Amino acid sequence: VCIHRVRSCSSIRFIKSKYVCVFDKSALKFSHQQRLFRTSAVSCGQIVQFKLSDIGEGITEVTVKEWYVKEGDSVSQFDSICEVQSDKASVTITSRYDGIIRKLHYSIDDTAFVGKPLVDIEIDASKGVASEEDVVETPPMSHEEHTHQEIKGHKTLATPAVRRLAMENNIKLSEVVGTGKDNRILKEDILNYLAKQTGAILPPSPKAEIVPPLQKTEAVPAAPKDKARKMPVPVSRPIAFSGKDRTEPVTGFQKAMVKTMSAALKIPHFGYSDEVDLTQLVQLREELKPLAEMRGVKLSFMPFFIKAASLGLLQYPILNASLDENCQNVTYKASHNIGVAMDTEQGLIVPNVKNVQVCSVFDIAVELNRLQSLGSAGQLGTSDLTGGTFTLSNIGTIGGTYAKPVILPPEVAIGALGKIQVLPRFNGKGEVFKAQIMHVSWSADHRIIDGATMARFSNLWKSYLENPASMLLDLK
Amino acid sequence: MVLLSLKNCLWLSCVLRTPKACFWSTASGGLIIQSVSNDVYQNLAVEDWIHDHMDLEKQHVLFLWRNSPAVVIGRHQNPWQECNLRLLRQKNIKLARRRSGGGTVYHDLGNINLTFFTTRKKYERMENLKLIVKALKALRPQLDVHVTDRYDILLDRQYKISGTAAKLGRTSAYHHCTLLCNADKFVLSSVLKSPYKGLKSNATPSVPASVKNLFEEDPSLTSEILLDAIAKEYAVQHQMDHHITLINPADETLFPGISNKTKELQTWEWVYGKTPKFSISTCLNMAYKDSVLDVKVNMDVKHGRIEVCNIDLPEQWLPPGLYSELVKGLTGSKFCPNETTTLVTTLLRVCPQDDELHSRWNLLCDNMIRLM
């Protein structure tokens, strides 16, 4: 029954194209609906064996290196099917037909022969077989349109999906600028054309609209320039959104994050925040920056934050400790290996500066420079990334004020530093002055750290930074 | 010879960028262009762009380009098999995968690249190479250079000075080749030697050859002189003006969409992910305390990611739970030292804090990372 339906539908279509003047618009719609119905029915087209065509230079055999399609995939004419190689030449084989791949005749690394079948494609019965040369593919429009395009001598290349989109929106493909391969019209081109039609964007200069097929690249430079000048204005477009969800496995960096954060979840966190007046530190850094530069080192605020943290940890060593799995023992770590959260292309990594307790601010700056350049090159070693005992995250370089950082096991505390803002504050005399304020948000493991300890550590750290000269008293 | 300076060229293309007389549709049947960039990805993107967008029926194109130090592997090759990736990372030498077939080459500013763009029907590598030989002989008649049937150009019958590769699409094709003028042979030989053992794959292998620079044969030859001679010969053979137009591969108005092509060529998925499936079967010799452990490792890598991983450790050397976490973590991960380092250092966070355990773990992981 289904097959019979298909045949009767296609015959109706043929009749329509001959006698289009007799039928009115409603007949057109009818056939359009019929056509949609037909495509949703079981496809029963003919299977064509697509043979490997001549490569040139007298080559008779090639090696199949990569398949771009698999059995069951639908392809359009000119889509890439596979990549073959012969004697230092890599050849992309493209499809001559629209249809569904039914059989791949070779596996990867097999030898394929010129003139022998490469794939079997099931094509739509009504469409017919494409000839050896490029075909003028006409969209399913009225007979008049078809003639119009033949007269123009146009090649309008577009996939069936794009053609349907154009037809649903009453767009003539001949008037759309194609920006795809071989001037093929892509979905984006239809959307852009529609946007222009609804008046959302100022009409571009006439030369950008029609593209004479032979001078492929001529008008293309003009069109993007026009697009670049206009401000995109959001407008409701009468078209369907065809975005698709994409699922990927969690691997590599993300897997590492999942592991760490799942373990961190077991730690009962508490938070403590405060603001720090960095006015004096900002001034100090300005003075010291050129000195550091002379020694070839970039000096940021981090070395100061890190050193102050280490000085604080000397007074409150429990913050530099580790709790064992069963919460039976607390290990007070001797080294202050302070981790610095780094944002790289792949994600979050936390290299640490070893033994800050015996480093000067300058030593820390040197080490930070080294870690930062290795980090951005993706060349940090395992020793740089292990052994951390305490972490600082300078999220303020990207933005934000308050944060709720997550402790990185096996550590017990972490601090997140917000951005430095210029804010009005009162001084001792009750006068308003310009202050450089930064917020810090600490998180600690409430199983062994209590609020008071965290608060006192924070106050000490804050006092070192608000009055940098006081660091001199306690520097080791 | 007319070599337009960059400023002139930009002005010229601005003036010419009206629909009537456009930069791309010049009157004559050919176009000689030279890239102002030494970035291998940008230059490869120009090749892609011309291949995909230019109508080569009306004109053919000769593209001249040079790159700052880079190793370029063929479309279907395995970078681990072809070069010393560790050395590349250390020396900051870029790695690129081109779209044409063939073997691995080292580029630096002492090497010139020539790409001949034609329609698919007019694809003819021998002709192009003979053109180059003719140009070289016209420049220095005493040079003993000839084309082999492997599409190499040999100097003095034994030294390779040029290698060839090609890409064929539906309607257009290109043939490109190198020419050694004054490249750093020492770096070349050290980066093109792979230290990775136990690799088994069906990727296209490179055929090593002794190389020599033309500069060594005749110190008066420079890249500029050679480029010019070849452009001149091309102009003569195609009956066109001998004038080289400079182009900027970063110019989106001249090459719309080229920045996407440049970006794609730099992605990990293209450079490493397109490696044909391969396997590694090797033995790690780990010096631990007073003994040396022989640890057999077997891995299958597909699309640049570890599909299967087996490490033959002595029993209880690592707690079994930790070992399975390692294998589980590596499976599906990129075969990449950076990704593996992050993974293994993170796994260390969630295992018991035992110095002995940590040092064994670090030893094993450092050895594993050396395989990548």
Other beta carbons within 10 angstroms of residue B367's beta carbon come to 16
Amino acid B346: pLDDT? 86
Interface test with B, best of A255, A323, A406 (most B CBs within 10 A): A255
Q: Which residue from B117, B259, B253, B59 is spatially nearest to A220, judged by alpha carbons?
A: B253
Q: For A220, which DSSP code?
A: T
Task: Indicate whether A80 pLDDT > 50.
Answer: yes
Confidence band of A473 (pLDDT split at 50, 70, 90): confident
A439 is catalytic: no
- Per the CB < 8 A criterion, the answer to whether B143 and B193 are in contact is no
**Do A172 and A112 belong to one domain?**
no
Cβ distance A94 to B169 less than 8 Å, yes or no, reads yes
> Given the structure tokens 């930069």, which residue do they identify?
B23
Q: Where are the beta strands (DSSP E) in A38-96?
A: 46-51, 61-67, 74-75, 80-86, 89-94
The residue that leads in pLDDT, A20 or B24, is: B24
**Do A57 and A192 belong to one domain?**
no
Cβ distance B54 to A217 less than 8 Å, yes or no, reads yes
d(CA B71, CA B178): 12
The CA angle A253-A255-A256, to the nearest 5 degrees, is: 65
Domain of A174, CATH number, reads: 4.10.320.10
Interface test with B, best of A64, A65, A82, A90 (most B CBs within 10 A): A90
d(CA A170, CA A141): 9
The C-alpha of B353 sits at a distance from chain A's nearest C-alpha, in angstroms, of 7
Q: In the listed set A66, A95, A123, which residue is the last one of a domain according to the structure?
A: A123
Task: For B235-285, write each residue's pLDDT tens digit.
Answer: 998 888 888 999 999 999 999 999 999 999 999 999 999 999 999 999 998
Amino acid B81: pLDDT? 94
B99: which chain A residues are within 8 Å (Cβ-Cβ)? Answer: 90
Amino acid A98: pLDDT? 87
Amino acid B12: pLDDT? 42
Other beta carbons within 10 angstroms of residue B363's beta carbon come to 17
Q: Where are the alpha helices (DSSP H) in A322-393?
A: 361-377, 382-385
d(CA A324, CA B110): 59
Domain assignment present for residue A3? The answer is no
Q: For A45, which DSSP code?
A: -
**Do A165 and A303 belong to one domain?**
no
Domain assignment present for residue A88? The answer is yes
**Do A282 and A386 belong to one domain?**
yes
Interface test with B, best of A80, A382, A414 (most B CBs within 10 A): A382
The C-alpha of B12 sits at a distance from chain A's nearest C-alpha, in angstroms, of 15
Residues 219-278 of chain A with CB under 8 A from chain B are: 219-225, 249, 251-253, 255-257, 259-260, 263
A88: which chain B residues are within 8 Å (Cβ-Cβ)? Answer: 74, 100-103, 151, 164-166
**Do A449 and A300 belong to one domain?**
yes
Confidence band of A147 (pLDDT split at 50, 70, 90): very low
**Do A184 and A275 belong to one domain?**
no
d(CA A160, CA A165): 9
**Do A336 and A441 belong to one domain?**
yes
- Structure-token pair, residue A414: 């972490």
d(CA B76, CA A395): 42
**Do A277 and A412 belong to one domain?**
yes
d(CA A87, CA B102): 7
What CA–CA distances, in Å, run from A229 to A202, A224, B247?
10, 9, 23
Over residues A396-400, mean pLDDT: 90
Amino acid A29: pLDDT? 45
Which one from A110, A134, A182, A450 is the annotated catalytic residue?
A450
Q: In the listed set A146, A178, A196, which residue is the last one of a domain according to the structure?
A: A196
Domain assignment present for residue A9? The answer is no
Nearest CA in chain A to B92: A377
Over residues A302-310, mean pLDDT: 96
Domain of A61, CATH number, reads: 2.40.50.100
> 3-state class of B351 per DSSP?
coil
Confidence band of A407 (pLDDT split at 50, 70, 90): very high
**Do A103 and A173 belong to one domain?**
no
Q: Domain span at residue A191?
A: 160-196
Over residues A21-31, mean pLDDT: 43
**Exposed / middle / buried, residue A454 (Cβ in 10 Å: 0-12, 13-18, 19+):** buried
Domain of A352, CATH number, reads: 3.30.559.10
B346: which chain A residues are within 8 Å (Cβ-Cβ)? Answer: 256-257, 259-260
Task: Indicate whether B219 pLDDT > 50.
Answer: yes
**Do A71 and A172 belong to one domain?**
no
- Structure-token pair, residue A62: 């090639």
Range from A351-355, A459-463, B241-245, B368-372 carrying the lowest mean pLDDT: B241-245
Domain assignment present for residue A139? The answer is no
> Given the structure tokens 């120009």, which residue do they identify?
B46
Residue B125: CB partners within 8 Å, gap ≥ 6? A57, B151, B164, B166, B175
Count CB pairs under 8 A between chains A and B. 184
> Given the structure tokens 């930070």, which residue do they identify?
A368
Nearest CA in chain A to B126: A57
Task: For A372-393, write each residue's pLDDT tens digit.
Answer: 999 988 889 888 999 999 999 9
B25: which chain A residues are within 8 Å (Cβ-Cβ)? Answer: 215, 217-218
Amino acid A165: pLDDT? 73
Amino acid A230: pLDDT? 58
> Given the structure tokens 């920056």, which residue do they identify?
A289
Other beta carbons within 10 angstroms of residue B208's beta carbon come to 12
- Per the CB < 8 A criterion, the answer to whether B255 and B244 are in contact is no
B120: which chain A residues are within 8 Å (Cβ-Cβ)? Answer: 56
Cβ distance B358 to A215 less than 8 Å, yes or no, reads no
Per DSSP, the residues of A386-453 read S---EEEE-GGGTS-S-------TT-SEEEEE---EEEEEE-TTS-EEEEEEEEEEEEEETTT--HHH
d(CA B367, CA B372): 10
Amino acid B26: pLDDT? 54
Task: For A187-213, write each residue's pLDDT tens digit.
Answer: 777 777 766 665 443 333 333 333 333
Nearest CA in chain B to A333: B353
A68 touches B: beta carbon within 8 Å: no
Task: For B152-161, write each residue's pLDDT tens digit.
Answer: 999 999 999 9
Over residues A307-332, mean pLDDT: 93
Domain assignment present for residue A261? The answer is no
Domain assignment present for residue A220? The answer is no
Confidence band of A48 (pLDDT split at 50, 70, 90): confident
Cβ distance A256 to B346 less than 8 Å, yes or no, reads yes
Task: For B182-212, write each residue's pLDDT tens digit.
Answer: 999 999 999 999 999 899 998 888 888 899 9
Amino acid A225: pLDDT? 43
Residue A254: CB partners within 8 Å, gap ≥ 6? A347
Domain assignment present for residue A79? The answer is yes
Nearest CA in chain B to A225: B253
- Structure-token pair, residue A261: 């954060």
Q: In the listed set A168, A196, A224, which residue is the last one of a domain according to the structure?
A: A196
**Do A73 and A168 belong to one domain?**
no
Amino acid A26: pLDDT? 45
Confidence band of A231 (pLDDT split at 50, 70, 90): low
Range from A196-210, A242-256, A279-293, B46-60 carrying the lowest mean pLDDT: A196-210
Domain assignment present for residue A280? The answer is yes
β-pairing, A61-67 vs B60-65, is unpaired
Range from A23-37, A85-99, A107-121, B52-66 carrying the lowest mean pLDDT: A23-37
Per DSSP, the residues of A372-383 read HHHHHHT---HH
Total count of domains within chain A: 3
Cross-strand pairs, B288? B291
The C-alpha of B26 sits at a distance from chain A's nearest C-alpha, in angstroms, of 11
Q: Where are the alpha helices (DSSP H) in A198-316?
A: 222-229, 252-264, 279-294, 302-315
Amino acid A235: pLDDT? 66
A24 is catalytic: no
Nearest CA in chain B to A385: B345
**Do A274 and A319 belong to one domain?**
yes
Task: Indicate whether A146 pLDDT > 70.
Answer: no
Range from A262-266, A315-319, A443-447, B287-291 carrying the lowest mean pLDDT: B287-291
Task: Indicate whether B21 pLDDT > 60.
Answer: no
Share the mean pLDDT of chain B. 88
Q: Where are the beta strands (DSSP E) in chain B?
A: 2-3, 30-35, 60-65, 70-73, 94-97, 105-107, 111-119, 145-147, 153-155, 159-162, 164-168, 172-180, 199-201, 243-247, 278-288, 291-302, 305-312
Ordered structural domains, chain B, with CATH:
29-272 (3.30.930.10), 278-371 (3.30.390.50)
- Structure-token pair, residue B204: 């296209």
B23: which chain A residues are within 8 Å (Cβ-Cβ)? Answer: 221
B57: which chain A residues are within 8 Å (Cβ-Cβ)? Answer: 214
The residue that leads in pLDDT, A25 or B228, is: B228
The residue that leads in pLDDT, A343 or A285, is: A285
